[in-house]
Structure 1
Amino acid sequence: MDVIKNVFRTNIRQYGMIVALVLITLLFQFLSDGILLKPLNVTNLIQQNSYILVLAIGMVMVIITGHIDLSVGSVAAFVGALSAIMMVDYGMPFYAATVLSLLIGAAVGAWQGFWVAYVRIPSFIVTLAGMLLFRGLTMIVLNGQSIAPFPKAFQKISTGFLPDFGSNSVHMLTIVVGAALSLVTVVQELRSRRTQQKYGFDVLPMPWFVLKLAVMVAVINIFTFVLARYKGIPFILILLFALVVVYTFVMKRTVMGRHVYAIGGNEKAAKLSGVKTKKVTFWVFVNMGALAALSGLIYAARLNAATPKAGVNFELDAIAAAFIGGASASGGIGTVVGAIIGGLVMGVMNNGMSLIGLGIDWQQGIKGLVLLLAVSFDIYNKNKSGA
């Protein structure tokens, strides 16, 4: 029993948010009379929140380093506007415009990262200025009007689905993908357990471990079956999965990831240890700019238009997702998976409250309270561990 308590205490943030996500999902599934988890609504939930989840991945890295980025919504709108001009007005091939848009986003991130990392201006001020600057530039380049429509191939980034083999009422390829993911998950968990045992870490007793595996496999297959009953796996879900895998690997298994955590934990100590703090901070902002650009492209593809009002409040949702997912307000703590879970909590709440007819005023108030509770929980745990 002590081992179970130790394992839970070590992963209290991760497990706590997963439990919260499950409870919130079940609550709104009941209140919406079963509409929340219908295949069409689940697919819409993924597509509607994809651009926030992309931003949350970059934002959690910024927050881990002890900084903040308030400009991501405006950068997303600006890049979406430029992509529309390139594709719609000038007829540029969508793949060339996409690559160029991502490079523009990275350049914006480099601009802001320079002021934060090398000039040492607080990130709050730099990105607040960026928020105003790029919102103004968006309105200038669009001349206050929307540009549409985008090429069909570009729209598929946000609204397309994996093709299926044969003609079936259930998307068979999605079922196969679910089974393959289940197998990969089991192998990965077994390998992780052996590694932990090798180095003497606490692990769950075998019956609890088997139960954990069974729950994970069940969730994966139920989720893929729900998707298979509509049109299958959206392209955007594949992109999100790839980003989560890559960034989780970077943060957990690479020198760059360890340096990001080191800077957030204690920047002076990290610098004395040989970490190039300015360079790492600079590249974190470059990465955030590129992901903001990707978010802007996804949003524009889903809306099939570039509009002056795009990206409004994106930065607030991304920051909330990171904090709700376990990132610490003082830096040094947070995970990519946690940010995704936090983003899903926000997404399910938004969707569920809309389904049951709550007005936008109530939605904003409840989201604010959830964010406050998440940060309070972080402070409570920190004070308790310090005691």
Structure 2
Amino acid sequence: MGRVDGSTSGQLRQRLRPGAVIAAQGLLIALLSLTTHVALFVLSVVSLALIPAFGVGFALFPAVTALVRLVTGLHRRLAGWGGVELASPYPPVPADAQFGTWRRFRWVVTDPATWRDLAWLLPGAVTGGVCLAAFAVPLYGLEGLLGLPVVLHAAGVWYGYGPFWPVGSLDQALLCFPLGALVLAGGLAAGRWLIWLHVTFAGFFLPPTRTAELALRVRQLTVTRAETVDAQAAELRRIERDLHDGAQARLVALSMSIGLAEQLVQRDPEAVRRLLAEAREVSGQALAELRGLVRGIHPPVLAERGLDGAVRALALAVPLPVEVTVDLPGRPPAPVESAAYFAVAEGLANVAKHSGATRAWIRLRHADGRLAMVVGDDGRGGADPAAAGGLAGVGRRLAAFDGTMVVSSPPGGPTVVSMELPCELSSPRTSPSSGTG
């Protein structure tokens, strides 16, 4: 019997938890809408009106627009709580577009997103204010469910639970329990719908237009192309440097040893044997360096065993337990596979060098046309993807394939690096998941 009660209590908590998120989201949307929208709309109209009169609007309107964009940015974040992503539509600010200049004013007024934001302020205030019900109604139902009317009645305080439900007796106070449960359930259901309505309405104004999306996409591709070209040039310089300082120097030494052996072959056979032994050792070192260089370009294990086997081989080389889970019904294209391999390799290298972790895990999965990779550890955290280093290089490598990387590494851990690459798989096969420790 106790187990049933505990299970029921757990299910209730699981249902109330998303309900609390909905209520909090509704409260924040309502507060943001009711406190800022009307004021910002009035300020925008006044600043525009001051342009022909005194000219101060040239400086005031861009400043008000910056505040409007701050508020709409907060609305986009709140929409993300509900799983609706609204991308920012604003182009980057030109370097010479300082506040108070004609360049800044012209940049603001020629941006279609400026007028879409202003057109949304008043309607958004209405739909955002209605979202207050997503917080108030469940809170009102929770009062009855928790027995607040009963407590107030016992204390001799008159309490009206509902506009038509004055609590004048104990029976009326006790009836607030089922009434509160109904109000709470109805409020949570209605709150979800109200927030959806507000976010959907905002989706007509706040995201970028099709033209703006294409312009943003072109800028993004321009940046990633430049980064890819720089990364390729740096990689070529690294290969050239490794060849010059490593294998080439050893091959020169090998050639000199063989030439000296040719001169001594008749006079000092014992010295020739020593020179040939040294030459054999140098040739082995040169071969090992060449193999290491080849592995850095495209590891043979990746070509032979695919991404699944190559990642498991990486996990075995890490000096701590690594759990590997792979769900790949095929193989990605070779360039994508190579980028994924080196991204996971860099993540594991950071785990081994900097994390102080006791265990790590790797998750690889392909779904909806995207290869998702997760490298995590239970270490000290504090990884910074913005700092110049391995993670920054991984981000540039993935961006070349339109991929993304998100790092979650709070102080004290854990560190979770989530990466995605858009791709399709070929050569379907069945590969069970397993752990590698």
Q: TM-score category by the smaller chain?
A: under 0.3
Superposition TM-score, scaled by structure 1 size: 0.24
Q: Which has the higher contact order (CA 8 A, sep 6+)?
A: 1
Superposition TM-score, scaled by structure 2 size: 0.22
The structure that has the greater radius of gyration is: 2
Higher strand proportion (structure 1 or 2): 2
Higher helix proportion (structure 1 or 2): 1
